[in-house]
A and B are shown apart, each in its own frame.
Chain A
Amino acid sequence: MGFATRLVSVLVLLAAWQLAAGLAESRLLPAPLTILDFIVSESASGELWRNVGLTLARVGVSFLLAMVLGVVLGIALGRWSALNLVLDTPLLILLNTPALVITVLAYIWVGLNEAAAVLAVVLNKLPNVAVILREGARSLDPQLEEMARTYRFDRRTWIAHVLVPQLQPFVVAAARSGLSLAWKIVLVIELLGRPNGVGFAINFYFVQSLNVAAIVGYSVVFMSVMIAIDILILQRLEAYVRRWR
């Protein structure tokens, strides 16, 4: 029932769009079918999947790096207040530096290469992850800590059965918000300084030919991939993590 409603809503939207595009007769407002045409021909040439694949790889690598570093840093900040005192202000500055500034500076200082691109995403995303995990590490249940001490839990048991389960919801929350942030930043980074990827393709069709069908086509395909990852992987992970509730 809910699914049918959603489907109808999307179909109505597409129909209205098709109709409006037919009336406007402008290449600045391409019809959905025109966009579909572009997606089909671009994927037949292999160009679409090459660009999507490259962007996904950049998102994947920088997302994982930012998650691992951010989780470790966040836990450390939450547990050691001295460290937090030292790093809180730099973190706050980084958190409020525009993604564009970080990206441009990374390209200037590191060079127009993959390393700079990945570094820029990691620096953009890491503060968010760290702040969420710091909150998680601070909210550990003191009663369970006492229980674990009283029963002489060894370090491995404590990490696996006391610490990690309490942090899991924070890690999943950071991953979900972080993934959508990461791919949006990756497109900007590609637009600014990479010779391939979805961001590059969108920029190419914008500057070269103002091909709106291509711009929207690329966006739709890539958004679909990211939504699929969210639904198929992250939401399931979240449900698994919350199974005991």
Chain B
Amino acid sequence: MALLVLPIVLALLSFLIPQKLVRYFGLAGALSSLVVALGHLSYFNPERYVSIFDPNKLFPLGLSFKMGYDGLSLTMVLLVNAIVTIILLANFAKELAENKTFTALVFLMQFGLLGVFLAQDGLLFYGFWEITLIPIFFILYWFGQQNNNSVLLKFFIYTLLGSLGMLLSFIVLGTNVQSFAYNDLAVAGSFMASKMACWVACGFLLAFAIKIPLFPFHTWQPNTYTTAPMAGTMLLSALMLKMALFGMIKWMIPITYNGFSEIKWLIITLGSIGIVYGAIIAIKQKDIKTLFAYASISHVGLIAAGIVLFTQTSLESAVIQIINHSIVAVGLFFAADIIESRTGTRNIYELGGIAKLAPRFAFWFALMTFVSVSVPFTAGFIGEFLLIKELFMAHWVTGLFASTTLVFGAVYMLRAYQVSMFGTPKMTSFEDLKWNEILVFASLTVAAILIGISPACIMNFVKPSIEHINELMVGSLNFIK
């Protein structure tokens, strides 16, 4: 339980800490939560489900309050705590790090995210899902670009609309069995007629497609990413959209499997369109942050399409790709922010020659670029390769579309790198990286390379829980026969 409670305690404490110490407090707090998560990891057996809170009775409304983790959830929990630490580290030298409200909001966000990944109860999952909206909204509002009200309202209302679809699905499922516990919902879903289950799946899809975002629901994303402060963009892209991908793996597909097959190809198509669409738009972007935002649409389209196939390999590689995308998103948006804060512009045509002025930055940015275009021996290579392979096996057309991501990714990333870093310097000075910035890049790169060299450790880690989800689904199919 300490895992979940710690961030909210930290959030409250950060109001009591003297102004000067807030940045150290933030970093130490995030590290401590990471240590707690690692402690959970140290005596975790991937075969087992670990309950961290279970009152063992059903409350009125069908609330069961069950919380716990299996290999998949624990991976996400570790990801959240690690990325939050890195975000606070990346933010360390900024003025923002001294802000109490900001630190508190980041911890509140962490609390909500952990809750989403730990919840074993539908209503709890929904509750935490919505809780995450509030801190991110205020991070964006107070610390983002000024006069971004309309962008923010669009973001909030859009995501709220989506999650109401999910709420309706949960209501339909939960009232059938008078319980919202995960296993009960799975049973309710397995008894559902396929047409009804399809509608329920559509409700979930609305929430997840907007958050991921899938192709026609992505319109909120580039503007929101661009106007957000660095930490906000990182939280949104590295962690918040992972809630939706996780929700698809854990909640949407197993529970609504009866009706899900009818919209399976819809999602694969939308994902494939997103891969190509995001990449093509990214190629034409001048604004480096918008470019990365569209690149993100392209990357997550591939993950979503892969998850929907729902084979053992596709899910395992999707998890690797989820982690990889978090690494890439944090690294790239960090680089974008370094460029913006030191030159005052995000337009890549106004940049140039930074490599001469700041060789260390050029080196680490290049490494991040390579991770992003998934060269071999980085996490992205394994993840994308396996996902594309699975998509090819499903249908060669989707495989073809998906594999364009490798080409397009190289085009837009290398172009962005080349135009901004090489050529004649267009500015007089560019301060090179400080220690905390090097630490951020180094830890991200090391993580990407470690996963790239030995992806099996993560795949084996999540394998039993994915097998369990598959069993749950097969079981539900047997129910019908």
Are A and B associated in one complex?
A: no
Chain A interfacial positions (CB closer than 8 Å to B): none
Chain B interfacial positions (CB closer than 8 Å to A): none
